[in-house]
Chain A
């Protein structure tokens, strides 16, 4: 009771810092949900291309140039070679295409005329090459069958007219829960930063060497004292979690979260908050300098958020990074959020992987408490 009372009195003494930290970090989380893209269709980008035509603009040559005009941005005024080089370097022009003499005739005769190209670096140049190669591949395929140049040109144009409309289906299906997923995945950072900073701030008072010595020589058992402190840390963390979830209802809308999805998001966040508390508790048992605590909080909260996909979707992260992320509880928390977003039916098969992730996160919590207590026991003597 005495220890708990002192814990909350110290917390109250730091109430300004606690409220400021909690509100700022949680507001960060709410702002983040509006930063994601909601685009559901795909539109191809047009690369900029310079064309030097050394052939007559008739037949296949004319068709090729018209195709390029349709599918790329044709740039003019680059007759000066130095200027063209600069444009390629600065990627103002991505591809230079030189159509050789007798191009239309050679294609009609089934030959394979060489198109000289120069390109800039980057994916836009690759895209331009794909556009050029598409025409040449189709032209050469039709040139193998004996057709007049007029018929050949008509066949090529018809083949090139067909195009595919690309639509991102998954976003359409899960768009309702993309914002809650982003909101709760960002909580990996907000909850970690908030819980670690505040708990370590309070615990640093108990960890001052002089106070620690006095606690150590008292009759209260070290294990009991640690449990009391951990229990109070958990109480603070649960309050921070409840605030974050309630704010979620306000920001995302009551209807979005007042369902099974919302319950799963909240439960997953609660399990992760417990884990964040144990991480904070472990840090406070190891590091006693308040300056170092801030640095460690940044490494843990920012590091795990970047590595596990709280800021950047996991799909964009390299396999090596994701492989490493498997050793962090944040990975399983964020993965569970992504799985909650995908849920279509609430059956055992879909819920179980999410529950399994929660169990893994809880396992991490137990491990952190055990390590913290071992460290604490070792520090029962001051030297």
Chain B
């Protein structure tokens, strides 16, 4: 069923009786060409592009719980491609381009809203680093602008510059960046994949991988064995657990990241803004809630919840930037499991086991990557060659030294 304004109008006048399920709930078949483990944003996008771009229809997405219940449903919704390094920037720019056409492609309004992101800068050295990054972005065909303090204040007049501990010297703007409605991204891909014949199987936990003679044959699940020619893991924070079924140890630690939303407020923040003298990012949703976050808690965790010191730290930075927020109220906080890699960059690669593929290590930046991650993973699964924008995301790069370390903080996941 196609969604459109006309359709909404028609259904409104006829009691909404015509809307069908956004996706089916099929029983798993005995085998598929492709089994994607993980019904999060990346897994669903992978299935969608496998079906749409690579014309594969015998595809299943297996989800332990309910689709979109992982990090795609619990992030701060930021979409951007303001990366520095050659290994990253083409991929994220590809992703941003996919975002720009996503609604039309999916026929689902994921509310991609290009309201811009500003990274504030607070020192000469930071300005130099931002100029280098902005130039990288432009060299890669992305957009970047350097703003001075006055230009930042025109957009964010409530920014504290008078009494600021770290002077606001301006910021690096990517105008095409913005936010999207995170749940809708998962649902839109699910609906699109389902329409193209992909089986989305919820409440189906993978409990093992059947591997013989170095080749994967299928997956053991809570709903029985499912055979597959190719199996792609796409489970973010649970990556180590799933890949352990294949005897693999990953360059990944699972950490908790908290995110926060305030009560609904009349619009005050036009776009996404980040604090450069710490770690804080904030935007305001179309419903009016201020959506924000900061550092990960910093310790390995699968608990999907964090602790008070980080809450305080994040909000200290919020108030340092916008002292008026003291009287806004925090409505809710939550936690997600981040697959923090050893260099802060992701992995989309084959494994040493024939037919077994891995997608993970997104740290806390996976949401913006959703379209390109799905596209590139689908490309890899279908063609056995890396997509041209994802050639650097190799599993063996830590062995070879070809790391992609945006922050330059080395092989310590909680510093990325």
Q: Do the two chains bind?
A: no
Task: Point out residues on A near B: beta carbons under 8 Å.
Answer: none
